[in-house]
Amino acid sequence: MLKSKMNENEMAINLFRKQIGDKQSQISFYERHIVELQNKKDEIMNSSGGAGGDNISVGTETQLQNELIALKGSIKDLQDRLSSKDEEIIKYQTLLKVDRDKHSLAAASLQEELKAESLPSGGKA
C-alpha cells in the first residue's frame, strides 16, 4: 500500500515537473514576443515622420501597448500557475518522504519480528 502511494506521488511529481517545463517555455515565448513588440514600437517611433506618420504611429503604438499589456498579463498568469505547481511539487515531495519513512519503519519492524521469530525459543542471541 505504501509502495503504491509512493509510486503515485512520484508520478504526480514527474507530471508537475513536465507541466512546469511547459509553462516556463510559454513564459519564455511571451517574454521574447514582448521584446519583439517593444522593438517594433521603438522602430516605428524612430522612423515616423510628418503628420500622417504621427497618426499611424499613435494607432500602432496603442495597439502595441494593448498587446504588451495582454502579454504581460499572460506572463503573470503563467508565473502564478508555475508557483502553484511548485507548491504542489513540494506538497507531494513531503508526502513521498513521509510515505518512505513509514515504509522504512514498517520494513525495520518486520525485520525485527522475523529476527525474533527465528531465534531459538530458549534464549536470545
DSSP 25-47: HHHHHHHHHHHHHHHHHHHHHHH
Q: Indicate the pLDDT class of residue 51, thresholds 50, 70 and 90.
A: very low
Backbone φ, ψ for residue 123 (5° rounding): -165, 180
Q: Indicate the pLDDT class of residue 43, thresholds 50, 70 and 90.
A: confident
DSSP structure class, residue 121: T
More confident residue, 22 or 60: 22
Domain boundaries, the chain: 2-118
Positive or negative: CA dihedral 116, 117, 121, 125: negative
- Its pTM stands at 0.50
Dist. CA 66–CA 68, nearest whole Å: 5
Give 76-87 pLDDT, tens digit per residue: 898 898 888 889
